[in-house]
């Protein structure tokens, strides 16, 4: 089984090298391997077995990944939970997957005293009981877990509705990791600061770099100061973040006197990179940039654009492409009938390959809706160029149809954000008696900036066709985004 093989190989090849670091401690590959095996025995002794679902409610720390690896060894399914969810949301997920246990931080577990009756075990990472798990258990033969056995239920980011549980097997993790390793060619001396939470599909990036033997630095939550300090303290060579995090880091006062010279590559994903942030980052960091395009339902990161393919900041006029599909996976742009489109024509991006999910947990109808002839429908509109690079235009659900013409909100958002006073922007459709739907723009301003609505509309006049221009601009303090950096447009629609 892939996750077990990952640990065993790194224990053999680099036993004394640091595998994981968090705010409290670090562990070597030998220690991670041994503790994971010990923890698997302890969980088995506590009644956890093949097929059981175990929820994990915690901020990022070493014990989270130890638990994932240990549960996978048993053939149990780890179910990461977003620690910012409200009590009914956590209880709802636990009930839907039928979790028999919840592991996590005591502070978070205490917030959720009432959980569904299926939960028979609660263990806090920061209490002695967790540390003792496995230390007194009798040595027993652990089950032989196949790569095709499900080992995780990862939940989507739920920007449009209730989060769906994505059932993933070890073969998915393996396929994505091997394809990524071929494309990105990471070396085993990498030290990567992971700014993204370990409770959804972005965790696959960290697992993939662990497979290469890298050291992964975990943080209990992102702040610009914490991320900058982690790079300097650990002499990090890589970072994994979303573009908004990079913006906040560059704006932080500490960025001017923090030693970031060790950085060789910044990985970013989950949202488009604003052109001003990219230009500023290239100038100030002097490192390479790698775009990550992924989706939980297709196994995580399945497309990448490497540093050598990124344009110079002055050459960027419209968008940075997502990149090419990693080996082993396939993607194409298709029309509404599912026919492949030629290069340059916009359609829905669909994906297939060994990395795709087994299906949504206990939701065959939702699985059927997202699948067509073996292809997973991403819901993203985009196109391929004649060299196989994918560029995204927008989400199918976000397209505004104005008098029969498609208007892509992301195009308007990019145009607005070229104005120096605009810090962030989001565009949604609003009903219109004459045209059916017209664009409504929400804008967050830079500190101290006071442009008028007329000024912003004049600015985009030279950048957008008349039918694409916003009908109205509203100023808000902050564009709502989820932890992955994606705009939560359901909160903005009128």
Distances (CA, A) of 396 to 15, 65, 275: 47, 34, 23
> What is the architecture of the domain spanning 402-491?
2-Layer Sandwich (3.30)
Distance from C-alpha of 365 to C-alpha of 343, rounded to nearest angstrom: 32
What per-residue confidence (pLDDT) applies to 88?
A: 86
Rg (C-alpha) for the chain, rounded Å, is: 23
The structural domains of the chain, with segments of one domain joined by +, span 1-398, 402-491
Does the structure show a pLDDT above 80 at 215? Answer: yes
Distances (CA, A) of 235 to 61, 227, 425: 19, 12, 34
> What are the b/e assignments for 22-53, b being 16+ CB within 10 Å?
beeeebbbbbbbbbbbbbbbbbbebebeeebb
Contact 460, 412 (CB under 8 A): yes
CATH 3.40.50.12780 fits 1-398, yes or no: yes
Does the structure show a pLDDT above 70 at 158? Answer: no
Distance from C-alpha of 346 to C-alpha of 320, rounded to nearest angstrom: 16
> Among 44-48, 275-279, 293-297, 303-307, whose mean pLDDT is lowest?
275-279
What does the pLDDT average to over 184-208? 93
What per-residue confidence (pLDDT) applies to 175?
A: 96
Distances (CA, A) of 32 to 11, 64, 67, 186, 401: 8, 12, 11, 21, 53
Q: pLDDT-derived band of residue 373, with 50, 70 and 90 as boundaries? A: very high
Q: pLDDT-derived band of residue 161, with 50, 70 and 90 as boundaries? A: low
Q: Tell which residue, 275, 288, 285, has the closest CA to residue 250.
A: 285
pTM for the predicted model, two decimal places? 0.84
3-state secondary structure of 348: strand
What per-residue confidence (pLDDT) applies to 196?
A: 92
Distance from C-alpha of 195 to C-alpha of 68, rounded to nearest angstrom: 18
Two tokens at 449?
A: 């900036």
What per-residue confidence (pLDDT) applies to 329?
A: 97
Q: What is the pLDDT of residues 90-121, one digit of tens each?
A: 999 999 999 999 999 999 999 998 899 999 99
Q: What is the pLDDT of residues 248-294, one digit of tens each?
A: 999 999 998 999 999 999 999 987 888 888 999 999 999 999 999 99
Distance from C-alpha of 58 to C-alpha of 106, rounded to nearest angstrom: 9
Q: pLDDT higher for 233 or 159?
A: 233
Does the structure show a pLDDT above 90 at 318? Answer: no
Q: pLDDT-derived band of residue 486, with 50, 70 and 90 as boundaries? A: confident
121: phi then psi, degrees, rounded to nearest 5: -145, 130
């Amino acid at each position: 089984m892939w996750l077990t093989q990952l640990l065993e190989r790194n224990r053999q090849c680099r036993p004394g090298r640091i595998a994981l670091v968090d705010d409290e401690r670090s562990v070597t590959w030998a220690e991670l391997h041994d503790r994971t095996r010990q923890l698997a025995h302890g969980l088995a002794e506590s009644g956890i077995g093949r097929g059981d679902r175990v929820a994990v409610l915690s901020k990022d720390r070493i014990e989270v990944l130890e638990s994932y690896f240990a549960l996978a060894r048993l053939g149990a399914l780890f179910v990461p939970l977003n620690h910012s969810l409200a009590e009914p949301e956590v209880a709802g997920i636990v009930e839907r997957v039928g979790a028999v246990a919840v592991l996590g931080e005591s502070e978070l577990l205490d917030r959720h005293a009432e959980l569904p009756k299926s939960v028979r075990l609660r263990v806090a990472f920061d209490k002695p009981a967790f540390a003792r798990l496995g230390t007194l258990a009798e040595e027993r033969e652990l089950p032989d877990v196949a790569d095709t056995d499900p080992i995780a239920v990862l939940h989507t980011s739920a920007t449009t509705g209730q989060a769906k549980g994505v059932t993933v097997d070890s073969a998915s993790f393996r396929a994505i990791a091997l394809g990524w390793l071929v494309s990105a060619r990471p070396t085993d001396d990498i030290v990567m600061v992971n700014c993204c939470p370990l409770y959804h599909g972005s965790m696959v990036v960290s697992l993939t770099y662990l497979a290469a033997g890298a050291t992964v630095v975990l943080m209990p939550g992102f702040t610009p100061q914490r991320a900058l300090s982690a790079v300097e303290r650990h002499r990090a060579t890589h970072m994994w973040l979303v573009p908004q995090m990079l913006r906040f880091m560059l704006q932080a006062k500490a960025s001017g006197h923090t030693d970031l010279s060790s950085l060789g590559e910044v990985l970013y994903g989950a949202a488009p990179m604003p052109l001003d942030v990219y230009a500023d980052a290239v100038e100030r960091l002097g490192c390479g940039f790698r775009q990550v395009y992924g989706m939980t339902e297709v196994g995580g990161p399945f497309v990448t654009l490497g540093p050598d393919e990124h344009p110079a900041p002055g050459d960027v006029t419209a968008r940075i492409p997502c990149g090419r599909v990693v080996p082993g996976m396939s993607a194409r742009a298709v029309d509404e009938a599912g026919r492949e489109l030629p290069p340059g024509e916009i359609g829905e991006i669909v994906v297939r390959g060994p990395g795709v999910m087994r299906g949504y947990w206990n939701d065959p109808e939702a699985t059927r809706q997202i699948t067509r002839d073996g292809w997973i429908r991403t819901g993203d509109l985009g196109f391929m160029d004649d060299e196989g690079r994918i560029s995204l235009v927008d989400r199918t659900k976000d397209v505004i149809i104005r008098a029969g013409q498609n208007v892509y909100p992301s195009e308007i958002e990019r145009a607005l954000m070229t104005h120096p006073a605009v810090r962030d922007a989001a565009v949604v459709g609003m009903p219109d008696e004459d045209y059916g739907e017209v664009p409504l723009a929400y804008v967050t301003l830079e500190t101290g900036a006071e442009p008028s609505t007329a000024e912003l509309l004049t600015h985009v006049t030279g950048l957008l066709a008349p039918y694409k221009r916003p009908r109205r601009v509203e100023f808000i303090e902050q564009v709502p985004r989820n932890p992955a950096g994606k705009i939560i447009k359901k909160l903005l629609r009128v």
